[in-house]
Amino acid sequence: MALPLVDTHCHLDFEDFGAERGAIIDRGRAQGIRWFVTIGSGRGAESADAAVALSHEHADVLATVGVHPHDASAATDAVMTAMHKLALDPRVVAIGEVGLDYHYDHSPRAVQQEAFRAFVRLAREVRKPIVIHTRSAPADTLAILREEQARDVGGVIHCFTEDEAFAKSALDLGFDISFSGIVTFKNSESLRSVAKVVPHDRLLIETDSPYLAPMPMRGKRNEPSFLPHTAKHLAGTLSLEEEQLRRLTTNNAIRRFGLDRFGATEV
Ligand SMILES: [Zn+2]
Ligand SMILES: [Zn+2]
């Protein structure tokens, strides 16, 4: 029996899964996903409520809460008050995904920056790690993490697509590096070279489902049961046995999200 995996970033609340949600969680379990971290951020402010509710329905699902940079304009005072309350829920293991996305610019940059700062402060207040989404905004992301003293709680750079210099800065700031299915894509050679320099005790994997299905599922709707493809591929990239890759990423996830509080034991 292969060692278990942790999907450190999936969006189980998304409509894409609809009535199949329960079956999808079961399929993940059948493929060895022992824990699911469902991200309460991504479809407006409602994702947070939905993610927390899912984490209370399933013993192996834990939640994060936040407002995605795309929706930063929705992070009003009332929403931040609601987020604060949700963040205290014991089944909420991190704040996120929050950050900056200057590729799509769905919210004005100044608004994204303000929301990002507010969530870093919230994370420090509730003493929970931060799940960062960053795209085309490396300098501002690092500057805000430094200025807001994010190192106090650390966290994860999710769906990592930046370069080696960014990875090193993020690691120094206490952020682990999480790879999605992108690392399996043919044209991701430069990303694979970054993966090789990430210390083994700082490496995580995720699906970011329903997006970014790994090879050979690329193009399909992604789901947690596809995570073993990413594990296998990344093990090959790092010249590790798949079991070693599973062991280190699972143990890193348990530590990062404090999953021992829910009965997780390192493998
Ligand atoms: Zn993201
Ligand atoms: Zn995401």
SS3 per residue for 152-202: HCCEEECCCCCCHHHHHHHHHCCEEEEECHHHHCCCCHHHHHHHCCCCHHH
Find the DSSP H helices in 15-58. 21-30, 46-57
Nearest to 131 by CA among 66, 78, 71: 66
Ligand lying closest to the C-alpha of residue 161: 1
pTM for this prediction:
0.98
pLDDT, residue 42, reads 81
The reply to whether 185 falls in a domain is yes
What total of structural domains would you count in the chain?
1
Per DSSP, 92 falls in state: E
Average pLDDT, the chain: 97
Ligand lying closest to the C-alpha of residue 9: 2
Query: What are the counts of helices (DSSP H) followed by strands (DSSP E) for the chain?
Result: 9, 8
The reply to whether 267 falls in a domain is no
Q: How far is the CA of 133 from the centre of ligand 2 (A)?
A: 7
Query: Residue 45 above 80 pLDDT?
Result: no
Query: Residue 19 above 80 pLDDT?
Result: yes
The reply to whether 246 falls in a domain is yes
Q: What percent of the residues of the chain are helix, what percent strand, and what percent coil, each to the nearest 5?
A: 50, 20, 30
Q: How far is the CA of 188 from the centre of ligand 2 (A)?
A: 19
Report the alpha-carbon distance of residue 101 to residue 32 in Å, rounded.
32
Q: How far is the CA of 41 from the centre of ligand 1 (A)?
A: 9
Question: 3-state DSSP call for residue 205?
Answer: strand
pLDDT, residue 218, reads 96
Q: How far is the CA of 48 from the centre of ligand 1 (A)?
A: 14
Q: How far is the CA of 1 from the centre of ligand 1 (A)?
A: 31
pLDDT, residue 9, reads 98
Q: How far is the CA of 207 from the centre of ligand 2 (A)?
A: 9
**Band (116; pLDDT cuts 50, 70, 90):** very high
Q: Which helix (H) or strand (E) holds 35?
A: strand 33-40
The reply to whether 229 falls in a domain is yes
Q: How far is the CA of 179 from the centre of ligand 1 (A)?
A: 11
Q: How far is the CA of 116 from the centre of ligand 1 (A)?
A: 13
Is residue 105 within 8 A of residue 38, CB to CB? The reply is no
Q: How far is the CA of 180 from the centre of ligand 1 (A)?
A: 10
Q: Structure tokens of 203?
A: 């490496």
The reply to whether 175 falls in a domain is yes
Structural domain containing residue 45: 5-261
CATH code of the domain containing 226: 3.20.20.140
Question: pLDDT tens, 207-250?
Answer: 999 999 999 999 999 999 999 999 999 999 999 999 999 999 99
Ligand lying closest to the C-alpha of residue 13: 2
Average pLDDT over residues 113-138: 98
Ligand lying closest to the C-alpha of residue 98: 1
Ligand lying closest to the C-alpha of residue 47: 2
Q: How far is the CA of 47 from the centre of ligand 1 (A)?
A: 13
Q: How far is the CA of 176 from the centre of ligand 2 (A)?
A: 16
Ligand lying closest to the C-alpha of residue 41: 2
Question: pLDDT tens, 137-175?
Answer: 999 999 999 999 999 999 999 999 999 999 999 999 999
The reply to whether 193 falls in a domain is yes
The reply to whether 266 falls in a domain is no
Report the alpha-carbon distance of residue 83 to residue 194 in Å, rounded.
34
